[in-house]
Chain A
Amino acid sequence: MTGWFLAAATLLLLTLAGALWRVWTGPGRADRMMAAQLVGTGGVAVVLLLAAATDWAMIDVALVLALLAAFAAVAFVKAETPEGRGDPEDDDA
Protein backbone atom coordinates (compact mmCIF):
# COMPACT_ATOMS: atom_id res chain seq x y z
CA MET A 1 0.00 0.00 0.00
CA THR A 2 2.87 2.36 0.90
CA GLY A 3 4.15 2.19 -2.67
CA TRP A 4 0.76 3.20 -4.08
CA PHE A 5 0.45 6.15 -1.70
CA LEU A 6 3.90 7.37 -2.70
CA ALA A 7 3.14 6.89 -6.41
CA ALA A 8 -0.06 8.94 -6.02
CA ALA A 9 1.89 11.62 -4.11
CA THR A 10 4.45 11.73 -6.95
CA LEU A 11 1.67 12.24 -9.50
CA LEU A 12 0.29 15.10 -7.42
CA LEU A 13 3.75 16.66 -7.26
CA LEU A 14 3.92 16.53 -11.07
CA THR A 15 0.61 18.41 -11.32
CA LEU A 16 2.14 21.04 -9.02
CA ALA A 17 4.89 21.54 -11.61
CA GLY A 18 2.05 22.82 -13.82
CA ALA A 19 1.16 25.31 -11.11
CA LEU A 20 4.80 26.43 -11.00
CA TRP A 21 4.64 27.13 -14.71
CA ARG A 22 1.57 29.32 -14.13
CA VAL A 23 3.38 31.23 -11.37
CA TRP A 24 6.21 31.85 -13.84
CA THR A 25 4.12 32.99 -16.83
CA GLY A 26 1.43 34.87 -14.94
CA PRO A 27 0.50 37.14 -16.65
CA GLY A 28 -1.49 38.89 -13.91
CA ARG A 29 -0.60 39.02 -10.22
CA ALA A 30 -3.85 37.26 -9.37
CA ASP A 31 -2.89 34.41 -11.75
CA ARG A 32 0.39 33.92 -9.87
CA MET A 33 -1.33 34.06 -6.49
CA MET A 34 -4.03 31.57 -7.50
CA ALA A 35 -1.32 29.19 -8.74
CA ALA A 36 0.38 29.51 -5.35
CA GLN A 37 -2.94 28.66 -3.72
CA LEU A 38 -3.12 25.58 -5.95
CA VAL A 39 0.32 24.54 -4.71
CA GLY A 40 -0.95 25.02 -1.15
CA THR A 41 -3.96 22.78 -1.80
CA GLY A 42 -1.89 20.20 -3.66
CA GLY A 43 0.70 20.35 -0.88
CA VAL A 44 -1.98 19.45 1.67
CA ALA A 45 -2.91 16.41 -0.45
CA VAL A 46 0.75 15.37 -0.85
CA VAL A 47 1.33 15.66 2.92
CA LEU A 48 -1.81 13.60 3.67
CA LEU A 49 -0.62 10.86 1.30
CA LEU A 50 2.85 10.93 2.89
CA ALA A 51 1.20 10.62 6.31
CA ALA A 52 -0.74 7.58 5.13
CA ALA A 53 2.42 6.08 3.67
CA THR A 54 4.78 6.71 6.60
CA ASP A 55 3.63 8.33 9.86
CA TRP A 56 0.17 9.62 10.82
CA ALA A 57 1.71 12.32 13.04
CA MET A 58 2.40 14.17 9.76
CA ILE A 59 -1.25 15.13 9.26
CA ASP A 60 -0.73 18.09 11.61
CA VAL A 61 1.51 19.60 8.91
CA ALA A 62 -1.38 19.32 6.45
CA LEU A 63 -3.59 21.08 8.99
CA VAL A 64 -1.16 24.00 9.35
CA LEU A 65 -0.64 24.23 5.57
CA ALA A 66 -4.39 24.31 4.93
CA LEU A 67 -4.88 27.05 7.51
CA LEU A 68 -1.96 29.27 6.51
CA ALA A 69 -2.20 28.90 2.72
CA ALA A 70 -5.45 30.87 2.82
CA PHE A 71 -3.63 33.51 4.82
CA ALA A 72 -1.34 34.52 1.92
CA ALA A 73 -4.44 35.17 -0.20
CA VAL A 74 -5.76 37.60 2.42
CA ALA A 75 -2.44 39.44 2.51
CA PHE A 76 -2.53 39.58 -1.31
CA VAL A 77 -5.97 41.20 -1.58
CA LYS A 78 -5.04 43.62 1.20
CA ALA A 79 -1.92 44.66 -0.72
CA GLU A 80 -3.69 44.90 -4.10
CA THR A 81 -6.81 46.91 -3.30
CA PRO A 82 -6.65 50.68 -2.80
CA GLU A 83 -6.31 51.60 0.90
CA GLY A 84 -6.04 47.89 1.64
CA ARG A 85 -9.78 47.39 1.89
CA GLY A 86 -9.41 43.93 0.44
CA ASP A 87 -12.97 43.64 -0.80
CA PRO A 88 -13.49 42.50 -4.41
CA GLU A 89 -17.04 43.82 -4.37
CA ASP A 90 -15.63 47.32 -4.11
CA ASP A 91 -14.77 47.15 -7.81
CA ASP A 92 -18.46 47.27 -8.72
CA ALA A 93 -19.26 50.14 -6.41
Chain B
Amino acid sequence: MSGTVFDIVLCALILGAALAAVSGRDPFAAVVFFVVYGVFIATAWLRLDAVNVALAEAAIGAGLTGVLLLGAVGRLARLRETAPPARAAGPRLLAALAAGGTTLLLGWVFLTLPEPAGLHAEVGANLAAAGSENAVTAVLLNFRAWDTLLESIVLLAALIGIWALSPDAAWGGRPGMTQRTRAGGVLAQFGRVLPPIGLMVGVYLVWAGTKQPGGAFQGGTVLAAVALLAMMAGRIAPPRVSAPGLRLALILGPAVFLAVGLAALAAGRFLWLPPEHAYALILGIEAALTVSIAATLALMVIGPPQEAP
Protein backbone atom coordinates (compact mmCIF):
# COMPACT_ATOMS: atom_id res chain seq x y z
CA MET B 1 0.00 0.00 0.00
CA SER B 2 2.57 2.57 1.12
CA GLY B 3 4.73 1.28 -1.73
CA THR B 4 2.08 2.29 -4.25
CA VAL B 5 1.76 5.78 -2.76
CA PHE B 6 5.55 6.16 -2.88
CA ASP B 7 5.61 5.10 -6.55
CA ILE B 8 2.83 7.53 -7.51
CA VAL B 9 4.57 10.48 -5.79
CA LEU B 10 7.89 9.48 -7.40
CA CYS B 11 6.32 9.27 -10.87
CA ALA B 12 4.74 12.71 -10.39
CA LEU B 13 8.13 14.18 -9.40
CA ILE B 14 9.86 12.53 -12.38
CA LEU B 15 7.27 13.89 -14.80
CA GLY B 16 7.37 17.33 -13.16
CA ALA B 17 11.17 17.54 -13.34
CA ALA B 18 11.22 16.26 -16.94
CA LEU B 19 8.54 18.72 -18.13
CA ALA B 20 10.24 21.61 -16.34
CA ALA B 21 13.58 20.66 -17.92
CA VAL B 22 12.26 20.73 -21.50
CA SER B 23 9.84 23.66 -21.12
CA GLY B 24 12.08 26.13 -19.26
CA ARG B 25 13.34 29.15 -21.21
CA ASP B 26 16.57 29.37 -19.21
CA PRO B 27 19.16 26.72 -20.21
CA PHE B 28 20.72 26.85 -16.73
CA ALA B 29 17.41 26.01 -15.02
CA ALA B 30 16.91 23.19 -17.54
CA VAL B 31 20.31 21.70 -16.60
CA VAL B 32 19.51 21.92 -12.88
CA PHE B 33 16.19 20.17 -13.52
CA PHE B 34 18.06 17.49 -15.47
CA VAL B 35 20.38 16.84 -12.50
CA VAL B 36 17.38 16.63 -10.16
CA TYR B 37 15.65 14.32 -12.66
CA GLY B 38 18.69 12.00 -12.48
CA VAL B 39 18.28 11.63 -8.71
CA PHE B 40 14.60 10.72 -9.09
CA ILE B 41 15.29 8.28 -11.94
CA ALA B 42 17.95 6.53 -9.85
CA THR B 43 15.32 6.11 -7.10
CA ALA B 44 12.86 4.74 -9.66
CA TRP B 45 15.39 2.10 -10.78
CA LEU B 46 15.71 1.05 -7.13
CA ARG B 47 11.94 0.58 -6.95
CA LEU B 48 12.27 -1.68 -10.02
CA ASP B 49 14.96 -3.71 -8.19
CA ALA B 50 17.60 -2.70 -10.75
CA VAL B 51 20.33 -1.63 -8.32
CA ASN B 52 23.09 -1.84 -10.96
CA VAL B 53 21.23 0.58 -13.24
CA ALA B 54 20.45 2.87 -10.29
CA LEU B 55 24.17 3.04 -9.48
CA ALA B 56 25.02 3.93 -13.08
CA GLU B 57 22.24 6.54 -13.23
CA ALA B 58 23.32 8.12 -9.92
CA ALA B 59 26.92 8.34 -11.14
CA ILE B 60 26.35 9.33 -14.77
CA GLY B 61 22.91 11.00 -14.87
CA ALA B 62 23.02 12.95 -11.62
CA GLY B 63 26.81 13.33 -11.53
CA LEU B 64 28.98 13.51 -14.65
CA THR B 65 26.33 14.63 -17.16
CA GLY B 66 25.38 17.53 -14.88
CA VAL B 67 28.97 18.74 -14.89
CA LEU B 68 29.20 18.33 -18.66
CA LEU B 69 25.97 20.29 -19.24
CA LEU B 70 26.90 23.06 -16.77
CA GLY B 71 30.13 23.51 -18.72
CA ALA B 72 28.13 23.63 -21.95
CA VAL B 73 25.80 26.33 -20.55
CA GLY B 74 28.82 28.43 -19.54
CA ARG B 75 30.26 28.07 -23.05
CA LEU B 76 26.94 28.95 -24.69
CA ALA B 77 26.69 32.11 -22.58
CA ARG B 78 30.16 33.17 -23.72
CA LEU B 79 29.28 32.49 -27.38
CA ARG B 80 26.05 34.49 -27.13
CA GLU B 81 27.92 37.59 -26.05
CA THR B 82 29.25 37.79 -29.58
CA ALA B 83 26.34 36.39 -31.62
CA PRO B 84 22.75 36.52 -30.30
CA PRO B 85 20.86 33.33 -31.24
CA ALA B 86 17.85 33.41 -33.52
CA ARG B 87 14.71 32.34 -31.65
CA ALA B 88 12.64 30.60 -34.27
CA ALA B 89 9.50 28.69 -33.27
CA GLY B 90 9.67 26.31 -36.27
CA PRO B 91 12.65 24.13 -35.27
CA ARG B 92 11.43 23.98 -31.65
CA LEU B 93 7.99 22.77 -32.74
CA LEU B 94 9.60 20.21 -35.04
CA ALA B 95 11.82 18.93 -32.22
CA ALA B 96 8.82 18.72 -29.86
CA LEU B 97 6.81 16.80 -32.45
CA ALA B 98 9.69 14.40 -33.16
CA ALA B 99 10.31 13.76 -29.45
CA GLY B 100 6.59 13.40 -28.68
CA GLY B 101 6.15 11.04 -31.64
CA THR B 102 9.06 8.88 -30.48
CA THR B 103 7.57 8.70 -26.98
CA LEU B 104 4.17 7.64 -28.35
CA LEU B 105 5.81 5.04 -30.63
CA LEU B 106 7.82 3.60 -27.72
CA GLY B 107 4.69 3.46 -25.56
CA TRP B 108 2.78 1.70 -28.34
CA VAL B 109 5.61 -0.84 -28.86
CA PHE B 110 5.83 -1.47 -25.11
CA LEU B 111 2.10 -2.05 -24.74
CA THR B 112 1.72 -4.29 -27.82
CA LEU B 113 4.79 -6.51 -27.27
CA PRO B 114 4.04 -9.95 -25.82
CA GLU B 115 5.05 -10.37 -22.17
CA PRO B 116 8.68 -11.58 -22.41
CA ALA B 117 9.60 -14.79 -20.61
CA GLY B 118 13.02 -13.34 -19.74
CA LEU B 119 16.29 -15.20 -19.34
CA HIS B 120 16.32 -15.31 -15.51
CA ALA B 121 16.16 -19.09 -15.40
CA GLU B 122 19.00 -19.64 -17.89
CA VAL B 123 21.24 -17.04 -16.23
CA GLY B 124 20.52 -18.47 -12.78
CA ALA B 125 21.29 -22.02 -13.91
CA ASN B 126 24.67 -21.04 -15.37
CA LEU B 127 25.69 -18.51 -12.72
CA ALA B 128 27.90 -21.03 -10.87
CA ALA B 129 30.16 -21.40 -13.93
CA ALA B 130 30.19 -17.68 -14.80
CA GLY B 131 32.74 -16.51 -12.23
CA SER B 132 30.48 -13.90 -10.63
CA GLU B 133 27.69 -14.09 -8.08
CA ASN B 134 26.24 -10.84 -9.43
CA ALA B 135 24.00 -11.88 -12.31
CA VAL B 136 24.44 -8.52 -14.08
CA THR B 137 28.24 -8.79 -14.03
CA ALA B 138 27.98 -12.42 -15.23
CA VAL B 139 25.85 -11.31 -18.19
CA LEU B 140 27.99 -8.26 -19.02
CA LEU B 141 31.40 -9.91 -18.84
CA ASN B 142 30.68 -13.55 -19.63
CA PHE B 143 27.39 -14.35 -21.38
CA ARG B 144 27.26 -11.12 -23.40
CA ALA B 145 30.95 -10.18 -23.31
CA TRP B 146 30.84 -9.25 -27.00
CA ASP B 147 28.47 -6.31 -26.27
CA THR B 148 30.60 -5.02 -23.41
CA LEU B 149 33.81 -5.29 -25.46
CA LEU B 150 32.27 -3.22 -28.26
CA GLU B 151 30.85 -0.70 -25.76
CA SER B 152 34.30 -0.08 -24.33
CA ILE B 153 35.57 0.54 -27.87
CA VAL B 154 32.63 2.90 -28.58
CA LEU B 155 33.72 5.01 -25.59
CA LEU B 156 37.18 5.26 -27.09
CA ALA B 157 35.74 6.26 -30.47
CA ALA B 158 33.65 8.98 -28.77
CA LEU B 159 36.76 10.43 -27.14
CA ILE B 160 38.61 10.43 -30.49
CA GLY B 161 35.61 12.30 -31.94
CA ILE B 162 35.83 14.93 -29.18
CA TRP B 163 39.57 15.31 -29.63
CA ALA B 164 39.04 15.82 -33.34
CA LEU B 165 37.34 19.14 -32.43
CA SER B 166 40.54 20.64 -31.02
CA PRO B 167 42.18 23.46 -32.99
CA ASP B 168 45.33 22.44 -34.89
CA ALA B 169 47.55 24.69 -32.79
CA ALA B 170 46.31 23.13 -29.54
CA TRP B 171 46.95 19.53 -30.56
CA GLY B 172 49.26 17.75 -28.16
CA GLY B 173 48.40 20.16 -25.34
CA ARG B 174 46.53 19.61 -22.12
CA PRO B 175 42.78 19.03 -22.56
CA GLY B 176 40.25 21.64 -21.42
CA MET B 177 40.80 25.16 -20.20
CA THR B 178 43.57 26.06 -17.78
CA GLN B 179 42.12 25.69 -14.28
CA ARG B 180 42.86 28.42 -11.79
CA THR B 181 42.19 28.21 -8.07
CA ARG B 182 43.28 30.35 -5.15
CA ALA B 183 45.80 28.46 -3.00
CA GLY B 184 44.26 27.71 0.39
CA GLY B 185 40.76 28.59 -0.83
CA VAL B 186 37.59 26.56 -0.30
CA LEU B 187 37.82 24.79 -3.65
CA ALA B 188 41.49 23.87 -3.29
CA GLN B 189 40.68 22.45 0.14
CA PHE B 190 37.70 20.55 -1.23
CA GLY B 191 39.98 19.08 -3.88
CA ARG B 192 42.14 17.66 -1.11
CA VAL B 193 39.40 16.23 1.11
CA LEU B 194 37.06 14.54 -1.36
CA PRO B 195 39.39 12.57 -3.73
CA PRO B 196 40.65 10.02 -1.13
CA ILE B 197 37.04 9.17 -0.17
CA GLY B 198 35.96 9.01 -3.80
CA LEU B 199 38.95 6.83 -4.71
CA MET B 200 37.97 4.34 -2.04
CA VAL B 201 34.28 4.31 -3.10
CA GLY B 202 35.24 3.82 -6.77
CA VAL B 203 37.57 0.90 -6.10
CA TYR B 204 35.03 -0.60 -3.69
CA LEU B 205 32.30 -0.52 -6.37
CA VAL B 206 34.51 -2.41 -8.82
CA TRP B 207 35.52 -4.98 -6.20
CA ALA B 208 31.93 -5.43 -4.98
CA GLY B 209 30.73 -5.84 -8.58
CA THR B 210 31.57 -9.55 -8.65
CA LYS B 211 29.26 -10.34 -5.74
CA GLN B 212 26.68 -7.55 -5.52
CA PRO B 213 25.61 -4.52 -7.59
CA GLY B 214 28.55 -2.49 -8.87
CA GLY B 215 31.18 -3.00 -11.54
CA ALA B 216 33.61 -1.35 -13.91
CA PHE B 217 31.22 1.24 -15.36
CA GLN B 218 29.89 2.43 -12.01
CA GLY B 219 33.30 2.39 -10.30
CA GLY B 220 34.98 3.94 -13.34
CA THR B 221 32.47 6.81 -13.39
CA VAL B 222 33.13 7.59 -9.72
CA LEU B 223 36.88 7.51 -10.36
CA ALA B 224 36.42 9.81 -13.36
CA ALA B 225 34.53 12.26 -11.12
CA VAL B 226 37.37 12.13 -8.59
CA ALA B 227 39.95 12.85 -11.30
CA LEU B 228 37.82 15.73 -12.62
CA LEU B 229 37.44 17.18 -9.14
CA ALA B 230 41.20 17.07 -8.57
CA MET B 231 41.70 18.79 -11.93
CA MET B 232 39.04 21.46 -11.35
CA ALA B 233 40.44 22.18 -7.90
CA GLY B 234 43.85 22.66 -9.49
CA ARG B 235 45.41 19.78 -7.57
CA ILE B 236 46.56 17.96 -10.71
CA ALA B 237 46.92 19.13 -14.30
CA PRO B 238 45.22 17.02 -16.98
CA PRO B 239 47.84 14.97 -18.86
CA ARG B 240 48.77 16.03 -22.39
CA VAL B 241 46.67 14.23 -25.00
CA SER B 242 49.87 12.93 -26.61
CA ALA B 243 51.28 11.46 -23.38
CA PRO B 244 52.08 7.74 -23.90
CA GLY B 245 50.92 6.87 -20.36
CA LEU B 246 47.52 8.40 -21.02
CA ARG B 247 47.14 6.59 -24.34
CA LEU B 248 48.04 3.33 -22.58
CA ALA B 249 45.42 3.92 -19.86
CA LEU B 250 42.79 4.61 -22.53
CA ILE B 251 43.31 1.35 -24.44
CA LEU B 252 44.19 -0.88 -21.46
CA GLY B 253 40.62 -2.08 -20.87
CA PRO B 254 39.65 -2.96 -24.45
CA ALA B 255 43.16 -4.43 -25.02
CA VAL B 256 43.01 -6.76 -21.98
CA PHE B 257 39.44 -7.73 -22.84
CA LEU B 258 40.43 -8.51 -26.44
CA ALA B 259 43.53 -10.43 -25.33
CA VAL B 260 41.46 -12.64 -23.02
CA GLY B 261 38.95 -13.17 -25.82
CA LEU B 262 41.69 -14.11 -28.32
CA ALA B 263 43.35 -16.44 -25.82
CA ALA B 264 40.03 -18.24 -25.54
CA LEU B 265 39.95 -18.46 -29.33
CA ALA B 266 42.99 -20.76 -29.05
CA ALA B 267 40.72 -23.05 -27.01
CA GLY B 268 38.13 -22.83 -29.75
CA ARG B 269 35.67 -20.11 -28.67
CA PHE B 270 36.17 -16.32 -28.87
CA LEU B 271 35.53 -14.52 -25.54
CA TRP B 272 34.83 -17.80 -23.72
CA LEU B 273 35.86 -17.87 -20.06
CA PRO B 274 36.88 -21.25 -18.61
CA PRO B 275 34.76 -21.71 -15.44
CA GLU B 276 37.75 -22.56 -13.20
CA HIS B 277 39.47 -19.24 -14.02
CA ALA B 278 36.35 -17.18 -14.73
CA TYR B 279 36.42 -15.25 -11.43
CA ALA B 280 40.05 -14.15 -11.79
CA LEU B 281 39.58 -13.31 -15.47
CA ILE B 282 36.46 -11.23 -14.80
CA LEU B 283 38.22 -9.35 -11.99
CA GLY B 284 41.22 -8.71 -14.26
CA ILE B 285 39.08 -7.47 -17.14
CA GLU B 286 37.00 -5.31 -14.78
CA ALA B 287 40.11 -3.74 -13.25
CA ALA B 288 41.57 -2.92 -16.68
CA LEU B 289 38.21 -1.65 -17.95
CA THR B 290 37.84 0.58 -14.88
CA VAL B 291 41.14 2.36 -15.64
CA SER B 292 40.10 2.95 -19.27
CA ILE B 293 36.52 3.99 -18.47
CA ALA B 294 37.65 6.41 -15.75
CA ALA B 295 40.28 7.99 -18.02
CA THR B 296 37.94 8.17 -21.04
CA LEU B 297 34.97 9.67 -19.17
CA ALA B 298 37.11 12.26 -17.36
CA LEU B 299 38.70 13.37 -20.64
CA MET B 300 35.33 13.45 -22.41
CA VAL B 301 33.93 15.83 -19.78
CA ILE B 302 36.98 18.08 -19.69
CA GLY B 303 36.90 18.46 -23.50
CA PRO B 304 39.44 18.77 -26.29
CA PRO B 305 42.71 20.72 -25.89
CA GLN B 306 42.01 24.48 -26.24
CA GLU B 307 45.36 26.20 -25.86
CA ALA B 308 48.65 25.70 -27.65
CA PRO B 309 51.01 23.45 -25.70
Where the two chains meet, the residues of A that have a C-beta atom closer than 8 Å to any C-beta of B are 3-4, 6-7, 9-10, 13-14, 16-17, 19-20, 23-24, 26, 29, 32-33, 35-36, 39-40, 43, 46-47, 50, 54-55, 57-58, 60-61, 63-65, 67-72, 74-79, 83-90
Contact = CB atoms under 8 A, between A and B. Distances in A.
A74 B9 contact: no
B39 A43 contact: yes
Given A13-B13, A46-B43, A84-B177, A55 B63 contact: no
Contact of B59 (A3, A68, A78): A68
A60 B52 CA distance: 10
Contacts of B47: 50
A58 B42 contact: no
Contacts of A24: 20, 24, 29
Nearest to A64: B58
User: What are the 8 tightest A-B residue pairs by CB atom distance, in nearest-first order?
Assistant: A68-B63, A87-B185, A79-B74, A43-B39, A6-B2, A75-B67, A86-B187, A72-B66
B46 A79 contact: no
Interface string B1-19: 1110110011011001100
A3 B5 CA distance: 11
Interface string B158-201: 00000000000000000001011110011110100010011001
14 contacts: A17-B12, A35-B36, A40-B62, A58-B46, A64-B63, A64-B218, A64-B222, A67-B63, A71-B229, A79-B71, A84-B179, A86-B185, A87-B187, A89-B185
Interface residues on B, range: 35 or more
A90 B187 CA distance: 11
Given A74-B229, A75-B67, A61 B182 contact: no
B interface SS class: helix
B293 interface: no
Contact of B181 (A26, A33, A60, A85): A85
A74 B233 contact: yes
B271 interface: no
Given A70-B190, A86-B233, 13 more contacts: A4-B2, A10-B6, A17-B13, A20-B36, A43-B39, A43-B62, A64-B63, A64-B205, A72-B35, A72-B70, A78-B232, A84-B179, A86-B232
Given A35-B32, A68-B62, A89-B185, A47 B43 contact: yes
A16 B16 CA distance: 12
Contacts of A9: 6
B54 interface: yes
A8 to B, nearest CB: 9
A71 B187 CA distance: 11
Contacts of B71: 75, 79
